[in-house]
């Protein structure tokens, strides 16, 4: 005899979900994330003649210029800050920062897989002392500890692997020469932020900016720019050319990248930044993502089988909602029947290893699609109860 959990999983997997319930767009992944149709269509029309042309000529440089201008406006860039970009995604920026921004020793808040990765880089870097690491259980929120001995504090604005959002504020009592490096990869563009609280607010285009991967972007303070120049001038520090922040700064000022960028990524990004501004900027996207993630949390409160993984409501992400499913129900059966119906990428972060759904509500995801997703999930649970 099959046990009840297996029997229910089989029933879930065999379910046929009425198409009238399905969202118009079934992409709910935490990155890469859904692109708007208008962006994709523009690649074949507006940008048809720009794709496949030189990144040292005006049409591609204009995409970079539009992105830099648009981001400066979107984030109300404070005096002295610059929008800098380079190839390699946020993962590359961790190495850029380990070379060009951390002087001797950094402090890291580690609350999940992404924040761990940066701490691992500075731990392995032979030119740096081992970092000070403040660790929190996945799903909970650590706070920075002011320490005389560090020259940079690092944490994620949104820990994408767990769905915890960390406030972006300079630690009270931190010295001016201690830089604040915030990994905003999955929430930049989706939430209000005061960039002056950071020295590097960095991200990649494939999450809230609904573009493709491959680039990193960083809003740098004058203190960060000064630090990079000074560290890279030191004779005892090897700066691999690809990881030089100074090279990225110099190229960005000319609206270009050190080496060849993905032109399509730039086109998608420039359009999304301008779309966000047209909708009402960060005030608009912040309100939308609070509303859409709120629908998921209201659903979790309504369903006895579902519990928010992040127990502290104040620490819950407005772009990545993590929901634990009761052990009597196999969450992989749910994600697999959804996938068979075109509702994709709501699997939990693989290394977290929980019986969970992880649902992204980036600015390009309208409320109507989240309402439909909730109806689909209700159907799956109710039809197999």
Ligand X SMILES: *Cc1c(COP(=O)(O)O)cnc(C)c1O
Measured on CA atoms in the order 240, 243, 245, 246, is the torsion positive or negative? positive
Residue 242 annotated as binding?
Answer: no
Residue 2 annotated as binding?
Answer: no
SS (H, E, C) 89-109: HHHHHHHHHHHHCCCCCEEEE
| Positions in 53-72 near ligand X (CB under 6 A) | none
Residue in 185, 198, 251, 356 binding ligand X, rule: CB under 6 A:
185
Candidate ranges 39-47, 173-181, 183-191, 232-240; the one touching ligand X (CB under 6 A): 183-191
- The pair of structure tokens assigned to 64 is 């970079």
- Please, which residue, 252 or 265, has the CB nearer to ligand X? 265
Across 25-88, the runs of DSSP E, i.e. the strands, are 82-87
Residue matched to tokens 């030089």: 244
**Distance from C-alpha of 136 to C-alpha of 164, rounded to nearest angstrom:** 11
- The pair of structure tokens assigned to 328 is 């009597």
**Site for ligand X contains 217 (CB under 6 A):** no
**Distance from C-alpha of 123 to C-alpha of 188, rounded to nearest angstrom:** 26
Residue 206 annotated as binding?
Answer: yes
- Please, which residue, 47 or 202, has the CB nearer to ligand X? 202
Candidate ranges 9-17, 178-186, 225-233, 374-382; the one touching ligand X (CB under 6 A): 178-186
C-alpha pair distances (Å), 214 with each of 89, 90, 91, 105: 5, 8, 10, 28
- Please, which residue, 218 or 384, has the CB nearer to ligand X? 218
**Site for ligand X contains 156 (CB under 6 A):** yes
**Distance from C-alpha of 246 to C-alpha of 175, rounded to nearest angstrom:** 24
Residue matched to tokens 């079934």: 26
Angle 276-159-162 from CA coordinates, rounded to 5° = 115
**Site for ligand X contains 202 (CB under 6 A):** no
**Site for ligand X contains 255 (CB under 6 A):** no
Residue in 106, 160, 198, 251 binding ligand X, rule: CB under 6 A:
160
Residue matched to tokens 């930044």: 273
User: Would you say how long the chain is, in residues?
Assistant: 385
Residue in 91, 196, 336, 355 binding ligand X, rule: CB under 6 A:
91
**Site for ligand X contains 89 (CB under 6 A):** yes
x/- binding map, residues 111-150, to ligand X, per CB under 6 A? ---x------------------------------------
Binding residues for pyridoxal 5'-phosphate: 114, 160, 183, 206, 259-260
Binding residues for L-glutamate: 56
Question: Rule CB under 6 A: which residues touch ligand X?
Answer: 31, 89-91, 114, 156, 160, 183, 185-186, 204, 213
């Amino acid at each position: 005899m099959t046990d009840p959990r297996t029997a229910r999983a089989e029933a879930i997997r065999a379910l046929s979900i009425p198409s009238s319930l399905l969202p118009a767009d079934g992409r709910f992944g935490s990155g890469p994330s859904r692109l708007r149709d208008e962006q994709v269509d523009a690649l074949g029309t507006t940008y048809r003649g720009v794709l496949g042309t030189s990144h040292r000529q005006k049409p591609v440089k204009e995409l970079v210029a539009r992105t830099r201008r648009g981001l400066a406006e979107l984030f109300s860039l404070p005096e002295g800050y610059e929008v800098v970009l380079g190839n390699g995604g946020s993962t590359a920026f961790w190495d850029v920062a380990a070379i060009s921004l951390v002087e001797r020793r950094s402090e890291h808040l580690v609350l999940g897989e992404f924040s761990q990765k940066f701490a691992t880089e500075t731990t392995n870097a032979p030119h740096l002392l081992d970092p000070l690491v403040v660790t929190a259980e996945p799903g909970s929120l650590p706070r920075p500890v002011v320490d005389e001995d560090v020259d940079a504090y690092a944490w994620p604005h949104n820990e994408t692997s767990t769905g915890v959002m960390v406030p972006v504020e300079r630690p009270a009592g931190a010295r001016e020469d201690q830089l604040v490096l915030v990994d905003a990869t999955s929430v930049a563009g989706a939430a209000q932020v005061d960039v002056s609280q950071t020295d590097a607010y960095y991200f990649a285009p494939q999450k809230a900016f609904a573009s493709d991967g491959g680039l990193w972007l960083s809003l740098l303070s004058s203190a960060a720019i000064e630090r990079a120049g000074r560290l890279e001038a030191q004779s005892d520090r090897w700066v691999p050319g690809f990881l030089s922040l100074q090279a990225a700064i110099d190229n960005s000022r000319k609206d270009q990248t050190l080496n060849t960028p993905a032109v399509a990524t730039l086109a998608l990004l420039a359009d999304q930044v301008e779309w966000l501004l047209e909708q009402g900027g960060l005030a608009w996207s912040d309100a939308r993502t609070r509303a859409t993630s709120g629908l998921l949390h209201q659903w979790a409160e309504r369903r006895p089988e579902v519990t928010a993984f992040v127990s502290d409501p104040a620490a819950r992400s407005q772009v990545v909602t993590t929901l634990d499913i009761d052990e009597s129900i196999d969450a992989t059966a749910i994600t697999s029947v959804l996938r068979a119906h075109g509702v994709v990428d709501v699997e939990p972060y693989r290394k977290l290893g929980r019986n969970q759904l992880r649902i992204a509500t980036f600015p390009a995801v309208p409320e109507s699609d989240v309402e439909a997703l909730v109806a689909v999930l209700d159907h799956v649970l109710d039809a197999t109860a």
